[in-house]
């Protein structure tokens, strides 16, 4: 008997019962809005105001998340998973956020995006090894991912040449964030599959609450906590920018979790990578930077990668079998059976 699809909503907008393309459009719209605002705010704070406190800013962002989740009406009585489910996820999540934001102190924004743009490939590879997922992707999806990554690297290299800020420490930090990202999306997808009753709000609330203490040791060891507190206390308007950024990122984060729950980690990674190209374009428009032929080549490859990703996965004709089911239906039933055998996931 076919299992009913888990009822899901996005910030009060119901996703259940809608066609897949509408779910995709709603989730990607929320994601693009949240993270485009996030990208502009990050570049403004780090590159224009020169406030480079990644761990501290992630810490502040966490408390804004908790306040927004509370306003959404979520409480611990709505939890369906034990707290221990989120320990590994929270450590990876906070480490990724802190290292990503902190790397901007040693890399310019385009250089950081160049490294982060490769995220989709390790996410796809890691998805093949996470117990319970064991994802297998068709060849055209790997080709699509490579085109997307190469295009974005070309685009960001063109900008990095005009505004160099390159440090080996920044490379190490963003590489560490990349490794954590390869686990993050797949772990989130595994939790959704392990317990379909898991809501996006529970995922975000628990990973934030459990993850915030993980940020304290690096802030104390590096002395960033006291430097950031003193610096931001003298420029209180920075908190206003951070709160605004966190509110927008909250919308984007809930949208990302919806995408992972419905479409999977690899598809979500493709979308987040494409978003980086749009963020860079906005950066050029808002901060008035010159566009070159290399930028155009990068954008063309990105467009090709996205177009290839949109190709249908199954193109073989429907051939009824002796049981009356098409070959595609049999393949889908077999795939679902394989997923069931792989549980529990974490």
pLDDT digit string (tens) for 310-327?
A: 555 544 444 444 444 444
Summarize the confidence of residues 36-49 as an average pLDDT.
76
Is the confidence at residue 63, as pLDDT, over 90? yes
Q: Quick one: pLDDT band at residue 66, thresholds 50, 70, 90?
A: very high
- At 344 the pLDDT is 37
Return the CA Rg of the chain.
21
- At 321 the pLDDT is 45
Q: Quick one: pLDDT band at residue 43, thresholds 50, 70, 90?
A: confident
2 within domain boundaries: no
- Please work out, in degrees rounded to the nearest 5, the angle formed at the alpha carbon of residue 274 by the alpha carbons of 270 and 276: 120
7 within domain boundaries: no
155 within domain boundaries: yes
Summarize the confidence of residues 17-22 as an average pLDDT.
83
Is the confidence at residue 116, as pLDDT, over 80? no
Is the confidence at residue 34, as pLDDT, over 70? yes
Give the DSSP letter of residue 81. Answer: S
Range of the domain at 146: 20-311
Q: Quick one: pLDDT band at residue 346, thresholds 50, 70, 90?
A: very low
- At 314 the pLDDT is 45
- At 262 the pLDDT is 85
The secondary structure of 26-72 as a DSSP string is: HHHHHHHHHHHHHHHHHHIIIIIS----HHHHHHHHHHHHHHHHHHT
Distances in Å between the Cα of 150 and the Cα atoms of 100, 114, 283 are: 20, 9, 20
Residue 221's H or E segment, with its range, is: helix 200-222
8 within domain boundaries: no
- At 64 the pLDDT is 94
242 within domain boundaries: yes
pLDDT digit string (tens) for 234-288?
A: 888 889 888 998 999 899 888 888 888 888 777 777 777 677 667 666 666 665 5
How many domains does the chain divide into? 1
Residue 14's H or E segment, with its range, is: strand 13-14
- At 309 the pLDDT is 63
- At 156 the pLDDT is 65
294 within domain boundaries: yes
Distance CA 91, CA 208 (A): 10
What's the number of CA atoms in the CB half-sphere (13 Å) around residue 194? 19
98 within domain boundaries: yes
- At 330 the pLDDT is 43
259 within domain boundaries: yes
Distance CA 237, CA 283 (A): 22
CB 319 within 8 A of CB 326: yes
Pair of tokens at residue 274: 């494409």
Is the confidence at residue 291, as pLDDT, over 60? yes
């Amino acid at each position: 008997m076919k299992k009913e699809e888990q009822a899901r909503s996005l910030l009060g907008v119901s996703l259940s019962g809608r066609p897949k393309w509408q779910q995709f459009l709603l989730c990607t719209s929320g994601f693009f809005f949240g993270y485009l605002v996030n990208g502009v705010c990050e570049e403004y704070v780090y590159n224009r105001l020169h406030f480079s406190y990644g761990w501290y800013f992630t810490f502040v962002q966490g408390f804004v998340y908790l306040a927004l989740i509370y306003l959404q009406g979520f409480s611990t009585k709505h939890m369906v998973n034990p707290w221990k489910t989120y320990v590994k996820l929270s450590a990876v999540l906070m480490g990724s956020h802190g290292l990503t934001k902190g790397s901007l102190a040693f890399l310019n924004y385009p250089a950081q995006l160049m490294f982060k743009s490769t995220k989709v490939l390790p996410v796809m590879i890691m998805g093949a090894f996470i117990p319970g997922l064991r994802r297998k992707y068709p060849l055209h999806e790997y080709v699509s991912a490579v085109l997307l990554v190469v295009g974005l690297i070309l685009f960001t290299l063109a900008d990095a040449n005009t505004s160099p800020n390159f440090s080996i420490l920044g490379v190490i930090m963003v590489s560490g964030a990349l490794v954590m990202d390869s686990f993050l999306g797949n772990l989130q997808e595994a939790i959704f599959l392990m317990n379909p009753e898991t809501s996006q709000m529970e995922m975000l609330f628990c990973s934030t609450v459990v993850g915030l203490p993980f940020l304290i040791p690096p802030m104390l060891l590096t002395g960033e906590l006291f430097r950031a507190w003193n610096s931001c206390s003298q420029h209180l308007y920075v908190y206003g920018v951070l709160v605004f950024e966190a509110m927008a990122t909250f919308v984007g984060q809930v949208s990302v979790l919806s995408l992972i729950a419905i479409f999977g980690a690899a598809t979500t990674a493709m979308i987040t990578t494409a978003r980086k190209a749009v963020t860079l374009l906005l950066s050029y428009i808002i901060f008035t930077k010159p566009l070159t032929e290399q930028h155009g080549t990068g954008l063309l490859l990105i467009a090709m990668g996205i177009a290839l990703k949109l190709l249908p996965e199954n193109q073989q004709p429907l051939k009824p079998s002796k049981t009356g089911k098409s070959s595609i239906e049999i393949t889908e039933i077999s795939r679902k059976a394989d997923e069931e055998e792989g549980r529990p996931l974490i």
